[in-house]
Structure 1
Amino acid sequence: MTRRAVVICPGRGTYNKAEIGYLARHHAGRVAPLDAAREAEGLDTLTALDGAERFAPKLHLRGDIAAPLIYACSALDAGALAEDIEVVAVTGNSMGWYTALAVGGALSLVDGLRVTTTMGRLMHDAMIGGQLIYPCTDADWRADPNRRAALLATVAEIDARADHVLRLSIDLGGMLVLAGNGAGLDAFESDVPRVQDRFPLRLPGHAAFHTDLQAPVAEAGRAALGADLFHAPAIPLIDGRGAIWWPEASDPAALRAYTLGHQVTEAYDFARAIAISAREFAPDLFIVTGPGTTLGGAVAQSLIACGWDGMQDKPAFQTWQEDGPRLVSMGREDQRGVVT
């Protein structure tokens, strides 16, 4: 029996100490085309970076290193799915949009690496602003509209202060990723209570992604990445607005314009992308490709936020998940075999 699946590609922050050797463990025989592309550009191969003796944060968390490593793990995971899985749609979180383009056929595997590496390098070199993350639900992932509204009001108030910049960067359903300059991030950290012993949490090596601070990066990306790289997708793609790019009905020029424009400089609504993927495609499985295991929580919170299958909180999700699992994280060894 065919299993219908939405594939979800992770973004930055998912290749960490535990992920060293991910490509070697799962894709040793499939990474060669990507290594060859990097060698041709005079760059270290992904095999060498992934095969490092130990995880080095100053190296592996750099945008121009982390992005291609995450891309390779994710894109190759998507290509390793079992034959009985029919991918009905693809989406991604933040940088994962570039991977989704390749998984969905709008970029070739090698061109997807080129786009990801170029944008990761441009953002790393510019390093404009930063990001932090903060929860907007309770401990059981129940929606709290008043809390969310209050947090966004705080963001707007800080952003209005002289020399402060603070914006919503990514909506993860139960978490808000905020981005801004140092003054804006510092002000938010001092104005909100510390919760769960870790939030607000700064994201190391991250710039102010998905805000207008990245306009110079977007412009440089458009200059570096030509229209010939992009094609209409072979599988429906769901972008960071929740818009669907349908096969044979998508303009490659418009797809490029979104990818190297709005997607870089405007807030990324991951929660809406997940809601649309559920409502429009009603898959049997939601498959989060590797590396890492953290995006599964955001997918679950986003499904709860949209009331998918009547879920309203974490216990309801856990009950729903017992039948399957229906949300599979390929970065988890106990779940990977369900879909490979």
Structure 2
Amino acid sequence: MSISFIFPGQGSQAPGMGKSLHDAFGAAREVFQEVDEALGEKLSKLIFEGPADDLTLTANAQPALMAVSLAAMRVLDREFGVGAGKAAFVAGHSLGEYSALAAAGALSVTDAARLLRTRGNAMQAAVPVGEGAMAALIGKVDVALAEEIAAKGAEAGPCVVANDNNVGNVVISGSKAGIDAALAYAKEKGARAIALNVSAPFHSPLMQPAADAMAEALAGASIAPLAAPVVANVTARPVNEPTTIRKLLVEQVTGRVRWRESIEWMATEGSVARFIEVGAGKQLSGMVKRNAPDAETLALNEPADLEAFAKSV
């Protein structure tokens, strides 16, 4: 039965995440120490103790979520003999794509932490606070309707579909004027829309300065051969060639997260029957159930989760 390891993105963070793994396994403690050393600060203390407001800051949340995911993966590999090579594919939601690449051995934990700190800072700095916005279109909304709503918003200012998570959960992003116009049109169309409490308009053209910063940062990053292909956010197709991976990671900053298409492709063309969410929370598992209802999902958050999963492989 083919499996895919999938890795969460921003929004899954919570103080205390990964603490049980840290306390139970030396392999997990190693990862948190490597991240702390890479960043020159005790990010692990913030991960385990909070405060939540500081952990939620983009520059902290991105490397923090990666640290928890990679701690779980190293324990799986070291303690239970289940590495990324056991998977047909790996994939991650937005920043989770870096976790996926590190899990597959393409990036070191150190490089992934530094790249995500750079990415978080660059995304935060790309647009002055208050000038960008994001909103979730929920309920009976598919990507076609979301694109129509975003196009209407774009008449007032930049506005695009940012995350195609699943039918009934599509996120739009852009300027405040563009999002406000889109929300007004969504109401006309009978679509339910919720403004998101985010610090910047992620995955929109307004993130171009951050994309430029990541192009520079990634140019100097070493990308090793992958233990399993990564299904890229911007193409929803597998890739394992380093030059292409670099290019797609840059495009990802301004491009759409094609999560629905990624899961659908893995479940059908890729014959994946089990999606294993590794790290904090269970948000992706819920999305998988909506995109590939026949697939099995499992979230690995606690030591007992890892042991039970390892026995089932």
State the TM bucket, normalised to the shorter chain.
Answer: 0.7 to 0.9
Q: Is the 8 A contact 1:328 1:336 kept in 2?
A: no
Q: Is the 8 A contact 1:134 1:176 kept in 2?
A: yes
Q: Residue type of the partner of 1:239?
A: A
Q: Is the 8 A contact 1:131 1:206 kept in 2?
A: no
| Structure 2 equivalent of residue 294 of structure 1 | 283
| Structure 2 equivalent of residue 64 of structure 1 | 59
Q: Percent identity?
A: 25
Q: Residue type of the partner of 1:25?
A: S
Q: Is the 8 A contact 2:232 2:248 kept in 1?
A: no
3-state SS of the aligned residue for 1:192?
A: helix
Deviation at 1:35, TM superposition (A): 3.0
- Call closer, same or farther: CA 1:42–1:35 in 2, change over 3 Å: same
Task: Give deviations 1:272-295, integer Å, cap 9, x for gaps.
Answer: 111221223323411011201222
Task: Give deviations 1:196-218, integer Å, cap 9, x for gaps.
Answer: xx952333234222222111111
Q: Residue type of the partner of 2:107?
A: L
Deviation at 1:268, TM superposition (A): 1.7
Deviation at 1:107, TM superposition (A): 0.8
* 2:165 equivalent to 1:166: no
What is the rounded CA distance, in whole Å, between the counterparts of 1:231 and 1:100 in structure 2? 13
* 2:265 equivalent to 1:276: yes
Q: Is the 8 A contact 2:146 2:170 kept in 1?
A: no
Over aligned residues, Cα RMSD in angstroms?
2.8
Q: Residue type of the partner of 2:254?
A: T
What is the rounded CA distance, in whole Å, between the counterparts of 1:166 and 1:332 in structure 2? 39
- Call closer, same or farther: CA 1:231–1:216 in 2, change over 3 Å: same
What is the rounded CA distance, in whole Å, between the counterparts of 1:255 and 1:176 in structure 2? 25
What is the rounded CA distance, in whole Å, between the counterparts of 1:24 and 1:327 in structure 2? 23
What is the rounded CA distance, in whole Å, between the counterparts of 1:104 and 1:185 in structure 2? 37
| Structure 2 equivalent of residue 49 of structure 1 | 46
What is the rounded CA distance, in whole Å, between the counterparts of 2:32 and 2:307 in structure 1? 25
Map 1:170-209; keep pairs closer than 5 Å.
170-174=163-167, 175-193=169-187, 200-209=193-202
3-state SS of the aligned residue for 2:18?
A: helix
Q: Is the 8 A contact 2:35 2:110 kept in 1?
A: yes
TM-score, structure 1 as length reference: 0.78
What is the rounded CA distance, in whole Å, between the counterparts of 1:95 and 1:65 in structure 2? 12
What is the rounded CA distance, in whole Å, between the counterparts of 2:175 and 2:252 in structure 1? 19
Task: Give deviations 1:152-192, integer Å, cap 9, x for gaps.
Answer: 2121012023xx22100011122111101111222233333
| Structure 2 equivalent of residue 329 of structure 1 | 299
What is the rounded CA distance, in whole Å, between the counterparts of 2:40 and 2:63 in structure 1? 14
- Compare the two structures and name the one with the higher helix fraction: 2
Q: Is the 8 A contact 2:137 2:171 kept in 1?
A: yes
Map 1:91-240; keep pairs closer than 5 Å.
91-127=91-127, 129-135=132-138, 137=140, 148-161=143-156, 164-174=157-167, 175-193=169-187, 200-240=193-233
| Structure 2 equivalent of residue 259 of structure 1 | 249
Aligned residues: 297
Q: Give ranges in structure 1 of 5+ residues lacking alignment.
A: 138-143, 304-316
| Structure 1 equivalent of residue 236 of structure 2 | 242
What is the rounded CA distance, in whole Å, between the counterparts of 1:330 and 1:41 in structure 2? 26
Q: Residue type of the partner of 2:177?
A: A
What is the rounded CA distance, in whole Å, between the counterparts of 1:15 and 1:199 in structure 2? 25
- Call closer, same or farther: CA 1:33–1:286 in 2, change over 3 Å: closer
Q: Is the 8 A contact 2:21 2:302 kept in 1?
A: no
- Call closer, same or farther: CA 1:283–1:27 in 2, change over 3 Å: farther
TM-score, structure 2 as length reference: 0.84
Q: Is the 8 A contact 2:100 2:230 kept in 1?
A: yes
Q: Residue type of the partner of 1:329?
A: A
3-state SS of the aligned residue for 1:287?
A: strand
What is the rounded CA distance, in whole Å, between the counterparts of 2:29 and 2:123 in structure 1? 25
3-state SS of the aligned residue for 2:309?
A: coil
Q: Is the 8 A contact 1:288 1:329 kept in 2?
A: yes
What is the rounded CA distance, in whole Å, between the counterparts of 1:98 and 1:40 in structure 2? 15
3-state SS of the aligned residue for 2:88?
A: strand
What is the rounded CA distance, in whole Å, between the counterparts of 1:334 and 1:41 in structure 2? 30
Q: Is the 8 A contact 1:75 1:103 kept in 2?
A: yes
Deviation at 1:31, TM superposition (A): 3.4
Task: Give deviations 1:38-79, integer Å, cap 9, x for gaps.
Answer: 345433x23211232x5432x111001111111111122233
